[in-house]
Amino acid sequence: MKKYFLLLVLSFISLSLFSQKAEEGLRIQFGLPFAKYGKFKHDYKNGNDTQYPSFHIQADKPWRDGFRLGAYLGFAGQKNESLFNEFTEITHTYYRFGGVVSYDLNDLLDAINVSPEIGVELYASLKTGFSLEHIKAENGINNKENNFLFDLGVLIGGRYNISENIDIFSELGYGNAGFVTIGFAFDM
């Protein structure tokens, strides 16, 4: 019951970002996470591991002074084929969704007289949400299992403006199914 209440609250917060009024518009980020960690990486001793391409999509808008509020969706997956395990093929897929709040670090750096002069915007993000884990194991018959997992992550990132409305970005930390995420951000 508590999971569903938290999901409802996160959904409300994520949807309410579109009703916020601010001088800036919507920002959409498309990223590819690398260097998977924790529940997104399964180390099987024997067999051939295949990592599915992970992706991460995030939309956010200005919320309060220096803060942005948004929502994210993501996917991660892995497949292991082995003749030595109990199952000949095990597949883990994760469908992720949740809310994100980011804080612009450039204002903080300016206040302590450390300002990046190269046009990079630095920020920190806190992400919280859920993952739907789908496990499929085959050994002549298919065994399937679904788990509902909690996501929590902290990231530090930077954006560099390459044109009027397009940025490239990189994020480091827990939160996108990989330690490092690179991609493009579009300002609407």
Q: Could you give the CA distance from residue 85 to residue 40 in angstroms, rounded to a whole number? A: 20
Number of H helices, E strands in the chain: 2, 8
Residue 61 scores a pLDDT above 70? yes
86/23: higher pLDDT: 86
Q: Determine the structural domain holding residue 55 and report its residue range.
A: 2-187
In this structure, what CATH number is given to the domain that contains residue 154?
A: 2.40.160.20
Concatenated DSSP letters of 32-84: EEEEE-GGG----SSSEEEEEEEEEEEEEEE-STTEEEEEEEEEEEEEEE-SS
139/160: higher pLDDT: 160
User: To 10 degrees, the CA torsion angle through 65, 14, 78, 37?
Assistant: 40
Write down the mean pLDDT value for the chain.
Answer: 78
What per-residue confidence (pLDDT) applies to 20?
A: 44
Q: How does residue 24 score in pLDDT terms, banded at 50, 70 and 90?
A: low
Residue 87 scores a pLDDT above 70? no
The tokens describing 144, both together, are 């399937």
Range from 14-28, 31-45, 77-91, 113-127 carrying the lowest mean pLDDT: 14-28
What per-residue confidence (pLDDT) applies to 90?
A: 80
Closest to 102 in 3D by CA, of 160, 154, 57, 55? 154
Its pTM surpasses 0.85: no
46/61: higher pLDDT: 61
Concatenated DSSP letters of 135-149: EEEEESEEEEEEEEE
Q: What is the mean pLDDT of residues 160-172?
A: 89
User: To the nearest whole percent, how much of the chain has pLDDT over 70?
Assistant: 71
Q: Are strands 120-139 and 166-173 parallel, antiparallel or unpaired?
A: unpaired
User: To the nearest whole percent, how much of the chain has pLDDT over 90?
Assistant: 30
Backbone angles phi, psi at 175, to 5 degrees: 150, -20
Q: How many domains does the chain fold into?
A: 1
**Region of residue 16 (phi > 0: left; psi between -120 and 50: alpha; otherwise: beta):** alpha
Which tens digit of pLDDT belongs to each residue from 92-118? 888 999 999 999 888 777 766 666 666
What per-residue confidence (pLDDT) applies to 149?
A: 86
Closest to 61 in 3D by CA, of 105, 22, 99, 9? 22
